[in-house]
Amino acid sequence: MNLFRHIEADYRRIARDGLPDQWCIDLATLDDVVEAIRDHREHQERSDDLTRRLATIARTDQRATVVVLYALAPLLGARLGRAVTAEYRTDALTELAMVILDSPLDGPRLAHRLVNRAHTRVYKAARRVEQRGVVHIVEIAPMDPQRMAASVGTCAADIADGVTDRLALARFNDAARVAVDNGDLSASLWTAFRDHRLRRALDPSGPTSTGVQRKLASRAARRIQPLVDQYLHAA
């Protein structure tokens, strides 16, 4: 699946319904909003204001997430270049969706900062792909980005997929609690991962994580990655 085309198709469906009045944006159409965000070189302040406004709305309205993703997709594509694989580009767009929902929105050059943060995340994730073990070799790889598509799209999810995801999450949660009880995983690491990675992916309406919280969650993710591979990748 080409996630860039998926986002564009979702945006076109949203745009046909017109610019939502409750967003309180003084432009005629969503295409005008997208054009203004992309015009960050000539009118940086206007682009920053619109990006900040939509990223804030995105915490409670996933349509705004789609609009920001669509607006920033060309800038992200230019940042990645042509040498990367299609899978890498899809991972980068998925990271951009997470960054939009979980990043501080103050300061200038917001579009550039969101894109650069997403690029850094996907680059670090790609570097963590490796083989472990000698006799029983295990490959550690990032989560399939298709599992994240439903969180940024507008299409209704298949009920069977929802049941499967909930079951996988329940098993993952049980395994993590057992690891904490056995002393294989510290309670603080599990809490950081749960509150600032897992919960943000499922419920983006919560408060924005601080820089310290994101760093702690990143360290926790490395420790919990084996459980993610076992219980979530196969779901």
Report the domain count for the chain: 2
One domain, residues 90 and 172: no
One domain, residues 43 and 117: yes
Q: What is the mean pLDDT of residues 23-30?
A: 94
Among 187, 76, 185, 98, CA closest to 143: 98
- Residue 145, domain member (yes or no): no
The pLDDT, as a whole number, for residue 140 is: 57
* Cα separation, 97 vs 30, whole angstroms: 18
* Cα separation, 115 vs 121, whole angstroms: 10
Among 142, 81, 72, 77, CA closest to 100: 72
Please give the model's pTM, rounded to 2 decimal places: 0.56
* Cα separation, 30 vs 54, whole angstroms: 11
Q: What is the mean pLDDT of residues 41-50?
A: 94
One domain, residues 41 and 120: yes
For residue 206 the two structure tokens come to: 């919560």
* Cα separation, 102 vs 25, whole angstroms: 22
* Higher-pLDDT residue of 159, 124: 124
One domain, residues 60 and 121: yes
- Residue 186, domain member (yes or no): yes
Lowest mean pLDDT among 42-46, 123-127, 186-190: 123-127
pLDDT digits (tens, 9 = 90+) for 80-119: 877 678 888 888 888 899 999 888 898 899 999 999 999 8
- Structural domain harbouring 204: 156-231
One domain, residues 167 and 84: no
The pLDDT, as a whole number, for residue 54 is: 96
Residue 3 near residue 149 (C-beta atoms within 8 A): yes
Q: Is the dihedral of CA 94, 95, 96, 100 positive or negative?
A: positive
Secondary-structure percent of the chain, ordered helix, strand, coil, rounded to 5: 70, 5, 30
- Residue 89, domain member (yes or no): yes
The pLDDT, as a whole number, for residue 138 is: 59
Q: Is the dihedral of CA 149, 114, 79, 127 positive or negative?
A: negative
SS (H, E, C) 24-84: CCCCCCHHHHHHHHHCCCCCHHHHHHHHHHHHHHCCCCHHHHHHHHHHHHHHHHHHHCCCC
The pLDDT, as a whole number, for residue 63 is: 93
* Higher-pLDDT residue of 151, 196: 196
